[in-house]
Amino acid sequence: MSSYVQDPETLKGYLDEVIRVSRGALEVLMVVKPDGTPVAYANTISLRPDFLAAAISTVSGVVTSVLDMMRLGDYRRIYVELEDRRYMFALHYGGDIVVAITKPNPNLGFINMLLSVYFKR
């Protein structure tokens, strides 16, 4: 399950599978290039993937730069709690970044396990 998928069409199917297995806990799942280019996405809510890809690329770059300046290495995951109690996760996958947005009040243990199984470093 964790081998890196590169083909965008195959990757889209992989993301759809993760959304399905999440049983509604994940509403958005996207793979983004570090430069902000969306590679593939699966979602159950309406959003602009190009805006989310650019935003997460910026957030990832800022966190990486700060950690680099402090000589702390790189991040494993970024967690952001949103106003409506949703969470946004960002993690490395191959040379890309995976972004996940949950439903409100998710089971964070389940989400972390799911992301660990499907998107191993």
pLDDT in tens, 3-53: 566 788 889 999 999 999 999 999 999 999 999 999 999 987 777 888 888
Mean pLDDT of the chain: 89
**What residue type is assigned to position 60 of the chain?**
S
Sign of CA dihedral 73, 88, 52, 33: positive
**Whole-number Å distance between alpha carbons of 58 and 71:** 20
Q: Which amino acid is at 120?
A: K
Q: Which domains does the chain have, with CATH numbers?
A: 8-118 (3.30.450.30)
Q: Is the pLDDT of residue 109 over 80?
A: yes
Predicted confidence at residue 1, as pLDDT, reads 46
- Residue 97 CB-density burial (10 A; 0-12 exposed, 13-18 middle, 19+ buried): buried
Beta strand extents in 26-113 (DSSP E only): 26-32, 38-43, 77-81, 87-93, 96-102
Q: What are phi and psi of 88, to 5 degrees?
A: -115, 130
R_g over Cα of the chain: 14
pTM over 0.95: no
* Mean pLDDT along residues 91-114: 94
pLDDT higher than 60, residue 2: no
Cα–Cα distance for residue pair 98/91, rounded to 1 Å: 5
- Quick: pLDDT tens for 38-91: 999 998 777 788 888 888 888 888 998 999 999 998 888 999 999 999 999 999
> What pLDDT shows up at residue 33?
93
